[in-house]
Structure 1
Amino acid sequence: MCEESKTIDMLNPYHTHPVSPNQCGSTNVQTIHAPLALVWSVVRQFGNPQAYKSFISSCAMLPGTVGVGSLRYVYTVTGLPAKTSVERLDLLDDDRHIIQFSIVGGDHRLGNYRSTLTLHEIKGGDTVVTESYVVDVPAGSTGEETCIFTNTIVRCNLRSLAHVTENMALASP
């Protein structure tokens, strides 16, 4: 078994989501050639998802909320079939490098979306990022269509995270 597969197996308990008949879910993995501490420093910033999520134009935190339970208002870039998303931080574990959030409102197709993102260092100092989710299948869509759409967004975000953090790693002394 390769090192990356061992890592994914170790993280599976965090990426097991119950999926009801009107939902779909998936797991996506990205290897990043940057140290875990650097990647985590970007990912853990719940109030700054636009640091690496290219579909987000801005984010505002609900005043007075800090930590688990915090709400962020996310504004997407022009041209997407959504304008806003309201998201709640469900878990932030700095020791195990896990962040979970849920989408609790907004004008988009990702109803009842719940995501778990974990980081793990692998041999050579690289970082494996695993992101899993479950989401409702909107009326008029199939589970396959919904997963294709959602996976496209998640994979773009993970590739963007790799690009941002690998460039940061190259720039640091």
Structure 2
Amino acid sequence: MATTTVSLEIPATADRVWQLIGGFGSLPDWLPFIPGSELSEGGRIRSLKSEDGGDIVERLEAFDNKARTYSYSIVEAPFPITGYLSTLSVHEVPGGQTARVEWTGTFTPVGVTEDEVVSLFHGIYTDGLAALRQTLAD
């Protein structure tokens, strides 16, 4: 099983960051490479469209609004992995005007090396958090 984690400090309060990213269907609000998200099954399944038209289906596994964190698994996606579980968390940095956002994932590669899938998801998380920072700066 492979793991990768990316964290980034963002010059905004943890509450402001969570308000933007805490909704399971909110990816299109801050992640430019996911322009579409549709919720089903009472908000526990999200069907995503990637910018290249690909379909990704994810299931909400855990949600804690007070702790500002949620975890999700991939049900269907064009990625060479199985057993994907990811967590997105927002933490308040002392002083209250900065938040640390952490995106972590665990998965098992299928037909590719562990380094290849770690690189893939590390890149997605890094680009995603950079886009989040930019969205909040605008």
- TM-score w.r.t. length of structure 1: 0.74
Other-structure match for 1:122: 93
Alignment deviations for residues 126-155 of structure 1 (CA, whole Å, 9 cap, x no partner): 00011111012121x111111011100111
Unaligned runs of 5+ in 1: 1-22, 168-173
Alignment deviations for residues 57-90 of structure 1 (CA, whole Å, 9 cap, x no partner): 211112x513xxx101001012xxx711110111
Other-structure match for 1:12: none
User: What is the identity, as a one-letter code, of the residue corresponding to 1:59?
Assistant: S
Alignment deviations for residues 92-147 of structure 1 (CA, whole Å, 9 cap, x no partner): 111111111111113333432111111111133100011111012121x1111110
Other-structure match for 2:7: 29
Q: What is the rounded CA distance, in whole Å, between the counterparts of 1:116 and 1:108 in structure 2?
A: 17
Other-structure match for 2:64: 93
Structure number, greater radius of gyration = 1
Other-structure match for 1:158: 129
Find the partner of 2:47 among 59, 73, 80.
73
Other-structure match for 2:120: 149
Q: Show structure 1 runs of 4+ deviating over 3 A.
A: none
Alignment deviations for residues 37-64 of structure 1 (CA, whole Å, 9 cap, x no partner): 11001111111211112211211112x5
Q: What is the rounded CA distance, in whole Å, between the counterparts of 1:29 and 1:76 in structure 2?
A: 23
Other-structure match for 1:5: none
Is residue 85–residue 108 contact of structure 1 (8 Å, CA) maintained in 2? no
Q: Which has the higher strand share?
A: 2
Q: What is the rounded CA distance, in whole Å, between the counterparts of 1:103 and 1:149 in structure 2?
A: 15
Q: What is the rounded CA distance, in whole Å, between the counterparts of 1:122 and 1:130 in structure 2?
A: 12
1:48 aligned onto 2:48:
no
Say how many residue pairs are matched. Answer: 137
User: What is the identity, as a one-letter code, of the residue corresponding to 1:146?
Assistant: V
Instruction: Provide the alpha-carbon RMSD of the alignment.
Output: 1.5
- TM-score w.r.t. length of structure 2: 0.91
Q: What is the rounded CA distance, in whole Å, between the counterparts of 2:19 and 2:82 in structure 1?
A: 28
User: What is the identity, as a one-letter code, of the residue corresponding to 2:42?
Assistant: T
Q: What is the rounded CA distance, in whole Å, between the counterparts of 1:42 and 1:28 in structure 2?
A: 18
